[in-house]
Amino acid sequence: MVETNLNVLRLEYDAGGNYVPPRPNAPSLAVDTVAITNGRDLSVQGKYPTDGETGVATQLQLFSRTDTGSYDFSTPEATAALAAGIRSGVKTATLTLTFPGDGPRWICLKAATAGGVQGPQSNEVLIDPSTAAVPAPTEGEAFVSRG
């Protein structure tokens, strides 16, 4: 028998030949919402596009790594439930995390279904949480540019 109605059944299998349930879409990390307060407290918003998703995402997961390290996608450092966003087709979540130490870190997000199936990672952002005081600037001039 030949398939003639042009319907396609998409199935994904891993390298071992095991079936992989439908994955959610890739989220995006909203760079303009990244905020570090009290030295090591991070707050960031993630955006998740629902259009064309094959696996329904219920949460966003936050991961971090050092410059020479790698992400451990099996253990999220923070999670937050997705909620309706400001426009149709986009959900959002705000994630918070307190880093245990100072130093530059790369962060990214993944969306996950209620069953724990993760989608692709978001864009990466480099941050530098630190409790050290920022030194006063030593160069430069400032002046009033408007009357």
**pLDDT single digits (tens) 33-47:** 999 988 899 999 999
Residue 143 predicted with pLDDT over 80 = no
What is the per-residue pLDDT across 22-71, written as a single tens digit (0 to 9) for each?
999 999 999 999 999 888 999 999 999 999 888 999 999 999 999 999 99
Beta strands 12-13 and 78-81 are unpaired
Domains of the chain, first to last: 23-127 (2.60.40.10)
Assign 115 to helix, strand or coil: coil
Cα distance between residue 21 and residue 118, in whole Å: 10
pTM of the model: 0.82
Residue 147 pLDDT more than 80? no
